Amino acid sequence: MTTAAAAGDREVAIVGVHMTPQGRQLGRSSQDLMAEALFGGLADAGMDLDEVDVFCNVTFPDGNGLGATPGNMATLLGRPLVAAIPYSGPQALVYAAALIRTGQARTVVMAHGCAQPPPGEAVAAYTTPRYEFTDWTGSFTAAQFALQARRHMHQYGTTVEQLAQAAATVRNAGSVNPEAVMFGRGPYTVDDVLAARPIADPFTLLMCALVNDGGSCVVVTSADRARDCPHRPVWMLGGAVEQRFSTYYNVPTLDMLESRPRMVEAVRRAGVAHDDVDLLSVYDHFAIGPIMAVEAAGFCPVGDGGAFVADHCGFGDGRLPLSTHGGCQSHSHNMVPYNHTIIEVVRQFRGDVPDRCPGWATDDHTYDRSQCRRVADPRLAVVCGPMTGVFSTAVLGRD
C-alpha cells in the first residue's frame, strides 16, 4: 500500500465524526438531528463552525422538509459558504477532497439529519417518488431493486441463498452493535432470512433496509489542519464517482456494474491493492447492494459478487469484513445513511467499536463473533455507495 502515489496522496483527512442516536420515531425534527450531528462532529474534530467552508447534505424532494437543504445552509449557519453540495457519504467525500486538494476549501462538513413522518403509509414516502412512467405501475423502491436483483440472478446465476447470506452477514454484525436500531435482533441464518415476510420477490423483509430517524456527521480537512486535531487523521487516499441512470425514475438495470473500470482505476491510483483492504463498508439498501458493490468496486469479477460476499465477507484472516456496524439493514437507514459507511471505518481505525465485549470501551475485544464486531488492527478500508443511479468508491487509510 505504501507506494509513492499513496504517500503523496495524504493531503486530505477525516478528523471528526459523530452519530446521533438512531431509532424509529425519535420525536425530534430533521434539523435538530442534523444540528446535533454537526456540532458533535465539529467537537470531535476540535473545531468550531467558523472553520467550515463547505457543507454537504442530501435532502430528498419529499420529507426532511424542515429547511436543512443545501440552498438554505448559509441561512441556517448565518455565514456564507464556499459551496453547499447536495451529496453525502463517499460521493461527497470525493468532491470534498477535490476542493481541499485544489485549495478552494480547507474544511468540509458532511452533516445529515432526518426524521421520518409519522407512520400511516404502507411504506416510507420517499420510496414512492412520483414519476409518470413508473409510480402508477405499482413500482416502488423495493420493487425497483428486486427487478435489479432478479436480473442479476438470471444473468449471473446469483442465488436467493446468496442474497440471504449477504443480509445475514450484515445483520449479524449489527445484532451486537448497541448503537444499531436492530441491536439484539438475530443472529440470523440463511433460512431465517428466507422465511421472513416476502416483500417483492426475491426480497424478504430481512433483505430490506430499515426506515428510521437519525443524524450523522463527517468532518474533512487538509493535512496541515489535521495535524492539530485531537484524533489521528484518517486519510482519504483516493476515490471516484460515476453518475448513471436514476434507479428511482428510470427502469432498473445493471448498468451500475459498468462503473467498475473507473472504480478499479481509483483504487489503483490510491496506491492500494484490493487484497490489502482490511474492511469494506457499503450502502446496503437491499441484499443485492453488497453483491453489486464488490463487483463494481473491483473486489471480484462482475457476476461473482454473490459467491464473494458469501465466502469472503466475514471476519478472520484473509477475510474482508463487510459493513461491521450493521449497515442499512440493521444499524440504521435514516433516509440518507451514506455517511455511516465512513463513520464506521473511522471508528474501527480508532478502536472505538461498541459491542457486547465487556472491555470494548478500552478497545479490549474478545473476537468472539457472537458478541464482537471488532476488526483486528485495520489499516486500509474501502467505502462504497450509494447504489441508486450513482456509484462511488473511496479508499481510506491510517498511519
Partner 1 sequence: MADAYGASRGDRLADEFWDHLAAGRFVVPRCDRCGRHRFPPTTFCPECHGIDWAWTAVSGTGTLWSVTTVRVPPSPELAADVPYDLGVVELAEGPLVLGRLSADNPADVGTRPIGTAGTRPIGMAVALVVDPPAATGEPARYHFRPA
Query: SS3 for 322?
Result: strand
In terms of Cβ atoms closer than 10 Å to its own Cβ (0-12, 13-18, 19+), residue 343 is buried
Cβ-based nearer residue to partner 1, 159 or 370: 159
Size of the site for partner 1 (CB under 8 A): 40
* Shortest separation between residue 196's beta carbon and partner 1, angstroms: 10
Under the binding rule (CB under 8 A), the answer on residue 60 touching partner 1 is no
Residue with cell 463547505: 54
Half-sphere exposure of 267 (CA within 13 A, CB side): 24
Interface pick for partner 1 out of 24, 75, 79, 130 (rule CB under 8 A): 130
Under the binding rule (CB under 8 A), the answer on residue 252 touching partner 1 is yes
* Shortest separation between residue 139's beta carbon and partner 1, angstroms: 6
In angstroms, the CA 299 to CA 277 distance is 10
Under the binding rule (CB under 8 A), the answer on residue 159 touching partner 1 is yes
Within positions 328 to 347, which residues make up the interface with partner 1, using CB under 8 A?
A: none
| DSSP β-ladder status, 279-282 and 203-204 | unpaired
* Shortest separation between residue 154's beta carbon and partner 1, angstroms: 4
In angstroms, the CA 206 to CA 171 distance is 8
Contact (CB, 8 A) for 110 and 57? yes
| Residue 254: its H or E element | none
Under the binding rule (CB under 8 A), the answer on residue 122 touching partner 1 is yes
Cβ-based nearer residue to partner 1, 103 or 136: 136
Q: Which whole-number Å values give the CA distances from 117 to 179, 217, 311, 321, in the listed order?
A: 22, 22, 39, 34
Under the binding rule (CB under 8 A), the answer on residue 191 touching partner 1 is no
* Shortest separation between residue 160's beta carbon and partner 1, angstroms: 3
Q: Which residues contact 102 (CB under 8 A, 6 or more apart)?
A: none
Under the binding rule (CB under 8 A), the answer on residue 142 touching partner 1 is yes
Among 353, 332, 348, residue whose Cα is nearest residue 280: 348
Under the binding rule (CB under 8 A), the answer on residue 110 touching partner 1 is no
Under the binding rule (CB under 8 A), the answer on residue 134 touching partner 1 is yes
Interface pick for partner 1 out of 87, 140, 248, 338 (rule CB under 8 A): 140
* Shortest separation between residue 143's beta carbon and partner 1, angstroms: 5
Under the binding rule (CB under 8 A), the answer on residue 255 touching partner 1 is no
Task: Give the binding range for partner 1 (CB under 8 A) out of 127-135, 349-357, 379-387, 391-399.
Answer: 127-135
Name beta bridge partners: 110: 56, 218
Q: Which residues bind partner 1 (CB under 8 A)?
A: 121-123, 127-128, 130-140, 142-143, 146-148, 150-151, 153-154, 159-160, 163, 194, 197-202, 204, 250-253
